[in-house]
Amino acid sequence: MSLIEKFKIPIDKRDLIPVIKQALFMSVIGGLLIGALHLFIYQVFGFSFIWMMLFILGYFMARRIKRSYQKYHIIFAVISVIAVFFTYYLINVVYYFGFIYVVDALQIVPIVYILNPINYFSFLNVFDSGFFGLDNILDVVFFLVVNIYVIRYIK
């Protein structure tokens, strides 16, 4: 069965709403929690466990999504990837708001700059001059691993 045919299969609405609820719940709670933990660990110890925490959250998110439906549909994989993107966005927003609050620079930095998602996903831009840097390659690899793991687990 081709990918287009998989999308044409009708979706059971009793399965779709719980999947969206679980994905949104895990994205918001996980993004807030991991963002706060990332701020604390990075400010106190000077290193980041953001990808490990995102991988653990991806595992729990996929588990909750898998338990919330009766029959699998490919749109659930799309919803889970969107949830991982939203979680990563929230992690960074919480981290930068917390960092700016700690250094007491909330009046200096415009809030619109912090809420701009392009700033947080620029590591995925292939045309960026720093794309082939080691740290950026690691970010891309871990981001892809988390997304692929979530997609494979919910099937």
Q: In this predicted model, what pLDDT tens digit does every residue of 71-104 receive, in sequence order?
A: 999 999 999 999 999 999 999 999 999 998 888 7
Q: What is the number of residues in the chain?
A: 155
**pLDDT (0 to 100) of residue 132:** 92
**pLDDT value at 148 more than 90:** yes
Residues in contact with 114: Cβ distance below 8 Å, sequence separation at least 6, in sequence order: 93, 96, 97, 100
Residue written as token pair 């029959």: 71
Nearest to 68 by CA among 100, 110, 39, 26: 26
Where is 43: in which H helix or E strand? helix 13-45
Question: pLDDT confidence of 106, banded at 50, 70, 90?
Answer: low
This model's pTM is above 0.75: yes
Contact 48, 38 (CB under 8 A): yes
Q: What is the pLDDT of residues 31-78, one digit of tens each?
A: 999 999 999 999 999 988 898 999 999 999 999 999 999 999 999 999
